[in-house]
Amino acid sequence: MRMFTPARFEDPQYGTCIRIHAAGGSTHAQDWVILAQCASDVADGYVYIDRFSAIELRGIKDAEALNQQLQELHLRATAMPMLASPLSAVAKQTAQDIAAELGAVEGGPGLAVIAHNDVPTGATAVSLSIDGDGALRLERSPLGDAPSAPLTPRAAAHHYAEALQDTESLEHNASALVEPGPIGWLDDHLPAGVVDLGAGVHRGAIPAEFAQLIGQLEVDITVTPWGGLVFHNIAEGDAEVVLRVLAPRGFIFDINSPLLRAE
């Protein structure tokens, strides 16, 4: 099991908090069961999601107990935001691969892993594209000329680690992620009969009991760069049921909902 040490910080409103960056925003159902338990046992009772695919627990009462529980997470955590197109399995797997190579590099901006023909998030200091044949390419960035040859995940991680020394914090680019991201019934990228469901969360706060509930759906869940969730690969009939269950519980499936933009 990988030892996992989350980023810890103090907030004047919430006290001690931890922030988790899941590589590519990718999480598993069991992660949400564990997060719900942590929120209920040793935090303020909520799991929070935010831009840059961040997961937070706030109002921590027992940091040691929390760290022990977090070791059960299945997600791959990174020390910095590593963003991926939430509807691209290839992009998210690439983020996972690069995260594994980066290891313990700390600090720095976010890395956006953009699938072929996807729309970039706009919040990148370093951007990787995936060619149609699956080759990785490091794009031009404020860091200067990037290699033009295809990269392995190891090489991409090496270039990114070097870049961390010269770039400003991703928080300076926060305004680039003001749109809500993929919301609603998402099926254009999937076989017939299967859908993804994109949801916003009002103020990013999910009560522990609802975090437990989405864990019980037993589907993979992506935390998007825009601070939403995508529930993946659900049969159409089951998706209707999921909508009816989650919509009354604060999950927003309407792209035009004013709650997506309300403070």
pTM tops 0.85, yes or no: no
Locate 259 and state its tokens: 């709650």
Q: What b/e readout covers 98-116, taking b as 16+ CB neighbours within 10 angstroms?
A: bbebbeebeebbbbbbbbe
pLDDT digit string, tens, across residues 234-258: 999 999 999 999 999 999 999 888 8
CB 153 within 8 A of CB 100: yes
Report the distance separating Cα 195 and Cα 216, nearest Å.
18
Average model confidence (pLDDT) across the chain: 78
User: How many Cα neighbours within 13 Å face the side chain of 58?
Assistant: 18
CA angle 48, 58, 210 (to 5 degrees): 40
Residue 143 CB contacts under 8 Å (≥ 6 apart), including other chains? 125, 126, 163, 166, 167
pLDDT at site 125: 41
Single-letter residue type at 85? S
pLDDT digit string, tens, across residues 84-132: 888 888 888 888 888 877 664 444 445 666 555 444 444 444 555 555 5
Residue 232 CB contacts under 8 Å (≥ 6 apart), including other chains? 196, 219, 220, 221, 222
Q: Which of 33, 40, 77 is nearest to 55 (CA)?
A: 77
